[in-house]
Structures are given as structure tokens and as C-alpha cells.
Amino acid sequence: MRIRVVSSNEEIESLSKGEKIIHLAFRPSNKDIFNLVQKCPEMKAVHIPISYIKTISDSTRIFLEMQGISLLEGDVWGHRKDINEYSEIKQEVFDRIKDLKKDGLSEAEVLNRMERDSGLSKDLLQFLMKGKKK
């Protein structure tokens, strides 16, 4: 699975309509979120760093919810935008989640273990576990 990393609001216009998950590495305004939703009608989630997500207005949160778009908190660690505009979630992450569930671990235990082992945020892992990866 690929997460499109967007570093500034100027990049929104260059996005493909088919983007599913977008990580905003800047503090978005309400207008930026609206433009993002307009540009990417197939979007399922917006991933935003913890320091920025706290500034998202209630009206924007409601707007995203009405559009069926999840607002996820977290960072994309170790990603270099100058090398690749996408951050990849490898198939091994999905396989490991499946194996842990098969071993009988609760959702909370799977989340805790995967957060520690993969470095992915809890919100993103919960989103992936719900099967919204398609």
C-alpha cells in the first residue's frame, strides 16, 4: 500500500484523482482539506502529524466524516520525499497482522505489538486492520 506524502499546499494540485491515503507533512487549513477532497475523490484517509492534527477544526473533522474519509494521526518515519513521493507499507505488515490475529491476540494486543514493531501509528494500524486498504 502506498501513502502519498504531500509537503505543501501547492502540491495538492499535482495529485492524482486516484490517491487513497495522503499524508500531509504541513499544517493544512480548512481550504487545503477541502481542495484535497475535491482533487482526490477516491481518498479514504488523511494522515497528519500529531502536532498538526490538534489544529484541525471541528467543521473540517465533520466534513471529512461526512465524506467517509478517516482522519488519522501519525508520522511517516524515515521517509525521504526527495527520493520518492510515496511511503510504502509493505505486505509483511499485513501478513504480520494476520498472523497475530490467527495466534489469538486481541485487537489491542495486535495494535500494541505492531505499533512497537513496525513504527506505524496506532490510528494507521487500526485503519489497516479494518480492511480499508483497497
3-class SS string, the chain = CEEEEECCHHHHHHCCCCCCEEEECCCCCHHHHHHHHHHCCCCCEEEECHHHHCCCCHHHHHHHHHCCCEEEECCCCCCCCCCCCEEECCHHHHHHHHHHHHCCCCHHHHHHHHHHHHCCCHHHHHHHHCCCCC
Give the C-alpha separation, 126 to 107, whole Å: 9
Q: Are residues 10 and 74 in the same domain?
A: yes
What pLDDT is recorded for position 36? 96
Structural domain count, the chain: 2
What pLDDT is recorded for position 26? 92
* Domain that residue 34 falls in: 1-88
Q: Are residues 22 and 45 in the same domain?
A: yes
What pLDDT is recorded for position 78? 56
What pLDDT is recorded for position 130? 86
Give me 2's grid cell: 502506498
| Domain stops at, among 88, 104, 124 | 88
What pLDDT is recorded for position 132? 46
Residues of the chain with pLDDT under 70: 77-83, 132-134
Please tell me the pTM assigned to this model: 0.85
Q: Are residues 39 and 105 in the same domain?
A: no
Cβ-contact 132, 45 below 8 angstroms: yes
Q: Are residues 19 and 84 in the same domain?
A: yes
Please report, for the domain that includes residue 35, its CATH number: 3.50.50
Which of 11, 107, 106, 123 has its CA nearest to residue 56?
Answer: 123
